[in-house]
């Protein structure tokens, strides 16, 4: 499998909703990472997979069975939709509804929480580019310290210092020095 385009993501989510509806559920997903950047911000054309939190019901094992079926139908890896990023979530903020179809609702956390996740990960140029988009969406006309105070509650324990350094570098690259 290559990268998942916006169209492929939405088609797969539509199919996932159909499977949920067929089994009597309305699935609620909260997408983070690349899928949130593709669907919520049009920040890039594609992502490697869909990182999501599955809100019960149904049980995660049921969702995984639907995901596996879609993987087989599309000749994709079984983890094309996974909850691996939940380790970067500290709480869950309320963010916008990104997409809705029969049997499914797809949301993302607030931009400030997505930014905290990107700052805590801070792995590569993709994270940096995504974080810049999220900083612009979050900061508006707020002062640097105000933005940092909004990010801090969502930081993964043990990653605060890394995130602070990443934030300082990002702020200067986007807004210049104070």
Question: Which residue segment(s) compose the domain that 142 sits in?
Answer: 112-175
Residue 42 CB: number of other CB atoms within 10 A?
10
- pLDDT of 23 strictly over 70: yes
72 and 131 part of one domain: no
- pLDDT of 178 strictly over 70: no
* pLDDT tens digits for range 46-64: 999 999 999 988 998 999 9
43 and 84 part of one domain: yes
* pLDDT tens digits for range 64-100: 999 999 999 999 999 999 998 888 899 999 899 999 9
91 and 19 part of one domain: yes
- Please tell me the predicted confidence (pLDDT) of residue 109: 97
- pLDDT of 154 strictly over 80: yes
Mark which of 59, 81, 109 sits at the end of a domain.
Answer: 109
33 and 101 part of one domain: yes
128 and 98 part of one domain: no
Supply the Cα-derived Rg of the chain in whole angstroms. Answer: 17
Domain count, the chain: 2
Mark which of 62, 93, 109 sits at the end of a domain.
Answer: 109
74 and 131 part of one domain: no
39 and 126 part of one domain: no
Q: CA 106 to CA 77: how far, in whole Å?
A: 21
102 and 120 part of one domain: no
Say which residues have a Cβ less than 8 Å from residue 120's Cβ, sequence separation at least 6: 88, 155, 156, 159, 162, 163
* CB-based burial label for 84 (10 Å; 0-12, 13-18, 19+): exposed
Mark which of 109, 129, 146 sits at the end of a domain.
Answer: 109
- Please tell me the predicted confidence (pLDDT) of residue 161: 96
Q: CA 79 to CA 82: how far, in whole Å?
A: 5
- Please tell me the predicted confidence (pLDDT) of residue 105: 97
Q: How far is CA 139 from CA 43, 46, 147, 170, in A?
A: 17, 25, 6, 12
């Amino acid at each position: 499998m290559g990268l998942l385009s916006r169209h492929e993501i939405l088609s797969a989510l539509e199919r996932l909703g159909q499977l949920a509806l067929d089994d009597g559920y309305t699935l609620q997903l909260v997408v983070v990472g690349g899928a949130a950047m593709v669907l919520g911000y049009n920040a890039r054309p594609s992502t490697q997979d869909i990182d999501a939190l599955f809100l019960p019901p149904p049980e995660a094992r049921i969702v995984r069975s639907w995901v596996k079926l879609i993987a087989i139908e599309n000749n994709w890896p079984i983890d094309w939709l996974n909850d691996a990023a939940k380790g970067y979530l500290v709480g869950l903020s309320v963010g916008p509804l990104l997409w809705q179809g029969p049997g499914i609702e797809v949301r993302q956390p607030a931009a400030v929480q997505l930014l905290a996740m990107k700052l805590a990960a801070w792995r590569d140029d993709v994270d940096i580019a995504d974080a810049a988009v999220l900083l612009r969406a979050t900061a508006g006309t707020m002062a640097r310290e105000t933005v940092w105070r909004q990010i801090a509650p969502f930081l993964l324990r043990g990653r605060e210092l890394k995130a602070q350094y990443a934030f300082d570098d990002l702020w200067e690259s986007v807004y210049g020095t104070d």
